Chains A and B, each alone.
Chain A
């Protein structure tokens, strides 16, 4: 009896492997490897109040004496009790209106933002690939490529061998020698392209992509889509934040809808994106 059960499980596993990955999600009986577990997570930003311009040393002293505790601190409750589990091989889209907490959620999964309550458990070190990954504006593009790669943990030899590839991918030098100019002189599109090129230079276990598909011109978009596909094939799980529903439909089979820091819906992309587009809350 037990023997047949095992064989049955094996058979199911074979069948599952044979099916395209999109179908795996719906198989209700097979245990899957979780890669990201988000357990009742709350995230709070503390923003130091406006109007506290820097003055001289004496004014700082008087301010500290006059109000004992920093009363100008405002708390922004960006994520309120979100729970979900992501599994190996999934590509999950995150949708929601501006300021709904999608990007905050990604930053927290990447371990870049501490959680106020609850826990985020991950398989290895997730990597966040975002357009607003601020680098060092006063430094040249060249320096940013080198420093960004070194900060991600590449060796100097790796950086040297990948450098040309990164610059070509970014397309910064297509219209002249811009890579040797400080990054503050770049247009926003150029800056975003270079940042994406740097982040995409490394392979990642759990990959978090924040709006990166919307970056840059047509040619760059085609290049970055191809690169994301490559990264997806190597990564266990991919998260994608985007306002472009078409690219969510194209890339993800599962979608999570977040609004005002709360999870509204978590299900197959077609159902969730459909409901989101119609503005129907479950």
Chain B
């Protein structure tokens, strides 16, 4: 080996490949750009292959969430119930919102609203932090990043199922009977889950780029909550607005999903024969489906577009 004494570049291609630029060499042997974003179909396949990871991640996080608290997972239902109690006191008793409802139904109406709105609110909040809070995991292992925001939505769904048990108790306690319309709760929440997943994916990309957004979120969520009529009937307040704005308020996805679940659980609230009742706006199911499909597709594609950039802090 006489060549050893001469400086030999160990990088330079040899033999038939001598003189090729690195790019040409990479092309010749079919090397691909490391960490490049796969096509939408291939990406979806990868994501589907990680479904066990998503489920296991969500379950583990849910269990671990309250490990430091003595009451543990009890907080999952205690927190929204405490919220309901505060809202009941302020809006129901002091501001007398409950007079607009059939006798005894305000509590159920309020609690359904709080639980359903919180489902979307949590999806937005955890979606925003999904990438930023898990940079360690993202930099350590290779997996489709959409797994994270989706896993966080699954956590919210699991939490919602737990709080649903409590909600059923509240509804029954306020004197509303089980009816056939209760079946409709399921499709309504499924549609809302799809909507939430889309929102979480979208917020995850925005949150990973603009850390300031997480500071604005509580502000935006509070505004959205009051505008959606979680604790008072927004429709009574906007009936004198121009038609265009009434329409915009009707299209609000949070209102749409809340109305659907409320109507499913307690149709009596919308009973036109009672002196105090709520109006059930038309086309709610169509809006719910449109929001669910539209938001999911837009959010998914929007998130996937930046897939290769999520490693950067």
Binding site for B on A (CB under 8 A): 23, 25-40, 45-48, 54-61, 63-64, 70, 83-85, 107-114, 119-123, 125-128, 130, 132-136, 138-139, 143, 146-148, 150-153, 155-156, 182, 195, 254, 266-268
List the A side residues contacting B244 at CB < 8 Å.
none
List the A side residues contacting B13 at CB < 8 Å.
31-32, 34, 85
Take A28-B14, A39-B22, A123-B31 as given contacts and tell me if A135 and B36 are in contact as well, using a CB distance cutoff of 8 Å: no
- Across the interface, B142 reaches (CB within 8 A) one of A36, A110, A182, namely A110
List the A side residues contacting B50 at CB < 8 Å.
150-151, 153
Tell me if B79 counts as interface (CB < 8 A to partner A): no
Cβ A266 vs Cβ B10 within 8 A: yes
Cβ B49 vs Cβ A114 within 8 A: no
Cβ B67 vs Cβ A268 within 8 A: no
How many whole Å from A151's CB to the nearest CB in chain B? 5
- Across the interface, A31 reaches (CB within 8 A) one of B16, B36, B141, namely B16
Taken residue by residue from 214 to 257, chain B's Cβ proximity to chain A (1 for < 8 Å, 0 otherwise) reads as: 11101100100000000000000000000000000000000000
Cβ A26 vs Cβ B3 within 8 A: yes
How far apart are the CA atoms of A62 and B36 in the complex, in Å? Answer: 38
Taken residue by residue from 265 to 307, chain B's Cβ proximity to chain A (1 for < 8 Å, 0 otherwise) reads as: 0000000000000000000000000000000000000000000
How many whole Å from B26's CB to the nearest CB in chain A? 4
Cβ B216 vs Cβ A83 within 8 A: no
Take A34-B25, A37-B26, A150-B53 as given contacts and tell me if A63 and B215 are in contact as well, using a CB distance cutoff of 8 Å: yes
Cβ B141 vs Cβ A64 within 8 A: no
List the B side residues contacting A58 at CB < 8 Å.
219
How far apart are the CA atoms of A35 and B36 in the complex, in Å? Answer: 16
22 contacts between A and B (CB under 8 A): A26-B8, A29-B15, A30-B14, A40-B22, A56-B218, A57-B222, A58-B219, A61-B215, A85-B13, A85-B22, A85-B25, A108-B34, A112-B139, A120-B35, A121-B22, A122-B31, A122-B32, A133-B139, A133-B141, A134-B136, A151-B147, A153-B143
List the B side residues contacting A64 at CB < 8 Å.
212, 215-216
How far apart are the CA atoms of A212 and B163 in the complex, in Å? Answer: 45
Tell me if B23 counts as interface (CB < 8 A to partner A): yes
List the B side residues contacting A127 at CB < 8 Å.
142
List the A side residues contacting B25 at CB < 8 Å.
34, 37, 85
* Other A-B pairs beyond A37-B23, A112-B138, A134-B137, 20, CB < 8 Å: A28-B3, A30-B15, A31-B18, A37-B22, A39-B22, A47-B313, A56-B218, A57-B219, A70-B212, A112-B139, A113-B311, A119-B22, A121-B22, A121-B31, A133-B141, A150-B50, A152-B143, A155-B52, A182-B64, A267-B10
List the B side residues contacting A113 at CB < 8 Å.
35, 139, 311-312
Tell me if B57 counts as interface (CB < 8 A to partner A): yes
- 5 closest cross-chain pairs (CB), A and B: A111-B35, A134-B136, A60-B215, A133-B140, A121-B26
How far apart are the CA atoms of A77 and B7 in the complex, in Å? Answer: 30
Cβ A85 vs Cβ B29 within 8 A: no
- Across the interface, B216 reaches (CB within 8 A) one of A28, A29, A57, A139, namely A57
Chain B residues 130 to 150 lying within 8 A of chain A, measured CB to CB, are 136-143, 147
List the A side residues contacting B11 at CB < 8 Å.
83-85, 266
Cβ B49 vs Cβ A153 within 8 A: yes
Tell me if B94 counts as interface (CB < 8 A to partner A): no
Cβ B212 vs Cβ A63 within 8 A: yes
How many whole Å from A249's CB to the nearest CB in chain B? 16
Chain B residues 18 to 43 lying within 8 A of chain A, measured CB to CB, are 18, 21-23, 25-26, 29-36
Take A112-B311, A153-B49, A156-B52 as given contacts and tell me if A31 and B60 are in contact as well, using a CB distance cutoff of 8 Å: no
How many whole Å from A117's CB to the nearest CB in chain B? 13
Take A109-B34, A135-B137 as given contacts and tell me if A57 and B218 are in contact as well, using a CB distance cutoff of 8 Å: yes
Take A60-B212, A146-B56, A153-B50 as given contacts and tell me if A45 and B312 are in contact as well, using a CB distance cutoff of 8 Å: yes
Cβ A134 vs Cβ B140 within 8 A: yes
List the A side residues contacting B8 at CB < 8 Å.
26, 28, 267
How far apart are the CA atoms of A195 and B136 in the complex, in Å? Answer: 12
Residue of B nearest to A149 (CB): B53
How far apart are the CA atoms of A10 and B233 in the complex, in Å? Answer: 85
Residue of A nearest to B31 (CB): A121
- Across the interface, A152 reaches (CB within 8 A) one of B35, B60, B142, B218, namely B142
List the B side residues contacting A133 at CB < 8 Å.
136, 139-141
- Across the interface, A48 reaches (CB within 8 A) one of B22, B60, B141, B211, namely B211
How far apart are the CA atoms of A245 and B141 in the complex, in Å? Answer: 27
How many whole Å from A11's CB to the nearest CB in chain B? 14
Residue of A nearest to B7 (CB): A267
- Across the interface, A25 reaches (CB within 8 A) one of B10, B30, B31, B32, namely B10
Residue of A nearest to B217 (CB): A57
Cβ B60 vs Cβ A136 within 8 A: yes
How far apart are the CA atoms of A134 and B133 in the complex, in Å? Answer: 12
Tell me if B309 counts as interface (CB < 8 A to partner A): yes
Chain B residues 81 to 114 lying within 8 A of chain A, measured CB to CB, are none
